[in-house]
Amino acid sequence: MLRRYSKLVAVAMSLQLVVLATAAHAVVLWDQSNWNNTGEGSLNLSSNSCSQISGNTKVHTANDVHFATAVNITSVTVYETEGNVQTATQAYLWIAPKTGSSPTESSSLVNNAANLVAITSAIESNGTTNAVAVTASGLNISLPAGDYWVSLTPRHSLGFFPYTVHLVTGGAVVGDPTEAIVACTVNSTWYQPLAPTSYDYAIKINGEVPVPTLGKSWGGIKAIYR
C-alpha cells in the first residue's frame, strides 16, 4: 500500500508541475507606443521591387526590446502615418537575439518570404494626433528572457507624397536606437535612418508570461488515493 501511495503522490505532484509550467496571463510585454506628434519618422516598407523612378524600396526598421522573463508573443504593432500602409495585408516579421548595439544579420534573413504574416490596420489617437496601428496578431512566438531585435515591415508600394512613415517615439531612446536595413540587394549594412539624431520608433508587443498557480492540496492527493 505504501508503494501505491508513493506512486499516486508522484502523479499528483507531476500534475501540479504541469499547471505551473503552462499557466499564463496576457500582458503588454513592451510598450513604446508613444509616437511623436510632429509626424517625424522614416520609411518602413517592402515593395514588390525597387525602382529609382517610382521610389519603391525595401526598408526594414528594427527595434531593440528586453524581456525580463520568458514570454509568448501574441501580437506586434507598429505605428505609422496614414497612407499606402493602410492597403497592406501582409508584413515581414523578423525577431532575432540582440548581440550588440546594432543587428549584424543579412537583409536576406529579414526580407524573407518565410517571415510573412497577416496584418490589420486601424486608426488610433493619443489624444492629440492620429496614427495607423499596424498589427500582426494571432502569433504564438515563445522566447526565453533576453534582448531582441523586432521588425515588422508592411508590404506595399511607396505611393504618392506624403509617404507613409514609421513614426518615431516622443520619448528618450531606451536601450539602443532603432536600426534599419535596405534589402533591395543582399547586404548586412544596418544604419540609423535619421542620423545624426538617434531615435526609437513606435512599437508595442503584447503576449503572455508564465504565472505560478496553486496546485492540489495534500487532501486532494488523499482523495485520489482513496
The residues spanned by each domain of the chain are 1-23+211-226, 24-210
List b or e across 101-122, with b for residues whose CB sees 16 or more CB atoms inside 10 angstroms. Answer: ebbebebebbbeeebeeebebe
Bigger pLDDT: 5 vs 159 = 159
Name the average pLDDT for the chain: 88
What pLDDT does residue 22 have?
54
Identify the residue with better confidence: 3 or 102. Answer: 102
Q: What is the pLDDT of residue 23?
A: 64
Residue-level pLDDT at 67:
98
| pLDDT for residue 26 | 87
**518615431: which residue's cell?**
168
Is pLDDT of 223 > 60? no
* Rounded percentage of the chain residues whose pLDDT exceeds 90: 78
pTM of structure: 0.83
